[in-house]
Structure 1
Amino acid sequence: MTVSILETERLYLRQWQPSDFAIFADMNADPEVMRYFPKLLSATVSDIIANKCQQLIEDNGWGFWAVSLKEDSEKSDAFIGFVGLNQTHAALHFAPCVEIAWRLRKDYWGQGYATEAARASLKFAFAELALDEVVAFTAVINKRSQSIMERIGMTNTQDNFYHPALSSDHPLAEHVLYKINQQQGQKANID
């Protein structure tokens, strides 16, 4: 399988490298980065996730790509997080589906990197994978991610649900579901 590498004006969405793993583990142990996740992750669990992301890209040619900066010689190719696509088969009422997701180091928040990389991922989803639809979901209280979903042309379905991995009284249990289809992607200038 040919591994796809996506390029935007400022970023590469690429295969994971061994040097990314320690940075990813630091991200996953950061309370701010993990604010809308049930718990912080140990380095061991973080490495398992990174290995899985790497293997899925190897097997499928796409997935949750490692994101790095193109320019700025001092930080060139520096891992800043992941953005990409994943086949979701979890016990969710809208699965199976392909979701788009992101997680960036907090020092790269607020600079448009997640939005830029997400647009490239959606373009790939519609142009290369010929998907009819892509979903995104997050905790109701995660307004920052919902803002990105809206910026990339996704629509809140108003079909909130309780994540099956969390107890219904958990503060992160209630989730919003966003979707975008091919036609909406064209209107949002994704392709």
Structure 2
Amino acid sequence: MDHFSTARLTAQRLREDHLADLVALHLDPDVSRYLGGVRSAEVTKTYLATNMAHWDQHGFGLWVLRTKDGAFAGRAGIRHILVDGVDEVEIAYTFKRDLWGQGLASEIATALTEIGLSQLKLPSLIGLVAVEHCASRRVLEKANYALEKHTSHHGEDVVIYRIRR
């Protein structure tokens, strides 16, 4: 599933030529506030390599998102993540700041959930969110994820939402 689209977005499997767009996204302090902070170009390059390897290992991962006119919008995906010593599969989504508040996160969260549960036949998906990130928590709630627990991840207070097939 290298490509898919929603009503307002197209998604393309992560590739090396997406580096510049990802660097710009990760350098925005508002965008990166709940992602562990601003990431340098070098850190983003490592992030890109890690997530491309995830595709090779699992057959799914992160996609770059574009608006219907082709403009870079952000990134989103389905990926393995270790939480409290357990291998989980999370949905993740990050958009450019100028696209916030338009319902795009809810649109992509719904699409990722459908892909993960129906097409990939995963037993469950999680959303891992900073406790204070109310907008992202609301996205997961609207997509029918249920709050499961509070925990700590990389030194951050987070909540885990889950949906099951």
CA contact (8 A) 1:30 1:40 kept: yes
**Counterpart position of 2:36:** 38
CA contact (8 A) 2:60 2:78 kept: yes
Give the letter aligned to residue 109 of structure 1: W
**Counterpart position of 1:23:** 21
Residue from 138, 158, 165 that aligns with 1:175: 158
Does 1:80 pair with 2:73? yes
CA contact (8 A) 1:20 1:79 kept: no
Summarize the alignment of residues 157-172 of structure 1 with structure 2, pairs less than 5 Å apart.
Answer: 157=148, 159-163=149-153, 165-166=154-155
Q: Which has the larger radius of gyration?
A: 1
Deviations 1:37-96 (A, max 9, x none): 3321101111221232233234433211111112xxxxx2222111110011x2x23721
Give the letter aligned to residue 43 of structure 2: V
Does 1:142 pair with 2:142? no
The two structures, once aligned, show a CA RMSD in angstroms of 1.7
Aligned length: 165
Q: Among all aligned residue pairs of Structure 1 and Structure 2, give the percentage whose two residues are the same amino acid.
A: 26
CA contact (8 A) 1:6 1:120 kept: no
* Unpaired stretches in structure 2, ≥5 consecutive residues: none
Query: Per the alignment, do residues 94 and 155 of structure 1 end up closer, same or farther by CA in structure 2, a change over 3 Å counting?
Result: farther
**Counterpart position of 1:98:** 89
Query: Per the alignment, do residues 94 and 123 of structure 1 end up closer, same or farther by CA in structure 2, a change over 3 Å counting?
Result: farther
More strand by share: 2
* Unpaired stretches in structure 1, ≥5 consecutive residues: 71-75, 167-172, 183-191
More helix by share: 2
When normalised by structure 1's length, the TM-score is 0.79
